[in-house]
Amino acid sequence: MRIKITYFTLFVLFFVFVSLPGVAQSKEEVLEYKPTNPQELSLTLDKAIELAKNYSPLLKMDREKIGNARMQAHEVSGYLVPHLNWQSTYTELKSAPAIMVPGIGKVPTGYKTTYDHRAVLTYEFDVWRKIWEQRSAAWLNVREAEENYRSAVQDLTYQVTKAYFQCLQAEDNVASQEADLKQIEEQLRVTQAMYNAGTAAKIDVLRVQVALAQIKQNLLDAKNQRDLAYSSLNNLIGYPMNTKLILAKDQDVPNITGSVDDLTAKAVSFRPDLRAARFAAEAAKKLIWVAKTKRLPDFTVTAYKEWVDNHFFPNNQDWGAVVEMTIPIYNGGVIRSQIQQAIIAYRTQEDYEKQIFDQVKLDVKQAILNLLSAKQRIDTIAQSVSEAEESLRLARVRYQAGVNTISEVLDAEAQLSTSQTQYAQAKFDYQVAKAALYKAIGLD
């Protein structure tokens, strides 16, 4: 008994020893992939777009619409094949039914237990291609849903791109205001020293202090705008509002080259909303014929095999086939109204397609003009920033030399701050304009 216990103990110890490395390795793997700070996330533009695609409730709804359209197309396709049904009736009575016949007594009129089984095969002849046209229209609806999904993806990509660069712009604005704060604090130190030395007036110190208070307020506003920008981006990618996002700053939307005519031609071919409108118009056109076929005869064949056991047909087996033709003669104008509705629906879709076509051309032209304008403003404002920096430098030198007043220094600092803000806005507008051109052309 002592030997058995020793063997068992050794077995348990060996099992624990072998299992420990695996447990430790598993724990290390979990710790390795666990983020150091769950409220912190590093992002590139592509990663932000991918997160938004995976999270977006609107995209999920559009994917469900594609699945629903496919099921509707499969449903219509099912009417092209024969339908087989099984019908069964089983009856159990307390006693067999009977009637009293004078001079004879009870005469049974049925069984206590009866059944009736029937296999029915039904097929509708698609003589006028009504079902085929319905099927074709249903699959066009599937393609329309797919293009609507692509359009939603492109809209979301544009929104995320805009929000991403808005965050970077907000960071630039905060950095600019912080630099302005340091400059005005240094200017206050210099002005205070000059006042103490008797080379500056008290009003100069007061003016710098007022400017300092204004810069602090501007910095607070810039930080609030930055928080709102990050909250908007978090909302798009599906993360909590308080998640700290660390954005890669070396991001750029690729350039698109080509003439207005070439880019417009690409948009006409690629824009998903225009393609969806075309598919919807084609489907509506096919439904006109479907409505017209309701004036024509329908042909249906029904075949059955039956198994019956009752008083009148004991253990009987039977089969039969029926060919049915239905000719509409009078229906109160219902079919005529349905045809007119189908025609109106088709014309409406045609008008909508034309409207989208015109909008596509306008979107491309407007996006190109916005892009050119943003590029020119970047070059112009970059030059004005350099000039404002030099103007501020000269104003400070002149003020310290007693040549000009503190107002000129403060005006130069305000002009530099404005130029830097405009430069950040121009960079943001340029990236957004390129993203808008991608969206206008319909490129993924």
Highest mean pLDDT range out of 35-39, 105-109, 344-348? 344-348
DSSP string, 49-71: HHHHHHH-HHHHHHHHHHHHHHH
What average pLDDT does the segment 371-399 reach? 90
pLDDT reading at 304 higher than 70: yes
pLDDT reading at 83 higher than 90: yes
Alpha carbon 135 to its chain centroid, in Å, reads: 28
What average pLDDT does the segment 299-324 reach? 85
Q: Are 409 and 388 in contact (CB under 8 A)?
A: no
If DSSP codes are grouped into helix, strand and coil, which group holds residue 443?
coil
Task: Write the CB contacts of 217 (distance below 8 Å, at least 6 apart in sequence).
Answer: none
User: What per-residue confidence (pLDDT) applies to 317?
Assistant: 84
| Percent of the chain residues topping a pLDDT of 70 | 91
Return the structure tokens found at 300: 């249906």
Task: Write the CB contacts of 320 (distance below 8 Å, at least 6 apart in sequence).
Answer: 303, 304, 306
pLDDT reading at 423 higher than 60: yes
Instruction: Give dist(CA 415, CA 399) in Å, integer.
Output: 17
pLDDT in tens, 152-177: 999 999 999 999 999 999 999 999 99
Q: Are 156 and 56 in contact (CB under 8 A)?
A: yes
Instruction: Give dist(CA 320, CA 266) in Å, integer.
Output: 61
Highest mean pLDDT range out of 15-29, 164-178, 314-328? 164-178
Q: What is the mean pLDDT of the chain?
A: 87
If DSSP codes are grouped into helix, strand and coil, which group holds residue 100?
strand
CATH code for the part of the protein at 43-79+129-296+332-441: 1.20.1600.10
- Measure the CA angle with vertex 220, ends 218 and 225; round to 5°: 95
User: What per-residue confidence (pLDDT) applies to 245?
Assistant: 94
Confidence of residue 313 (pLDDT cuts 50, 70, 90): low
User: What per-residue confidence (pLDDT) applies to 1?
Assistant: 38
Strand-pair partners of 89: 116
pLDDT reading at 19 higher than 60: no
For residue 359, the number of C-alpha atoms closer than 13 Å in the C-beta half-sphere is 13
Confidence of residue 379 (pLDDT cuts 50, 70, 90): confident
User: What per-residue confidence (pLDDT) applies to 312?
Assistant: 63
User: What per-residue confidence (pLDDT) applies to 105?
Assistant: 76
Q: Are 118 and 87 in contact (CB under 8 A)?
A: yes
As a whole number of Å, the CA-based R_g of the chain is 40
pLDDT reading at 185 higher than 60: yes
Q: Are 226 and 169 in contact (CB under 8 A)?
A: no
pLDDT in tens, 197-253: 888 889 989 999 999 999 999 999 999 999 999 999 999 999 998 899 999 998 899
In this prediction the pTM is: 0.80
Is the four-CA dihedral 278, 279, 284, 287 of positive or negative sign? positive
How many secondary structure helices (H) and strands (E) does the chain include? 9, 8
User: What per-residue confidence (pLDDT) applies to 11?
Assistant: 46
pLDDT reading at 87 higher than 70: yes
Strands (E), 93-139: 98-101, 105-108, 113-125
Instruction: Give dist(CA 434, CA 255) in Å, integer.
Output: 7
Is the four-CA dihedral 42, 217, 182, 385 of positive or negative sign? positive
The least confident of 2-11, 101-110, 334-343 is 2-11
DSSP string, 280-318: HHHHHHHHHHHHHGGGS-EEEEEEEEEEEESSSSTTEEE
Instruction: Give dist(CA 411, CA 354) in Å, integer.
Output: 54
Domain layout of the chain by residue ranges: 43-79+129-296+332-441
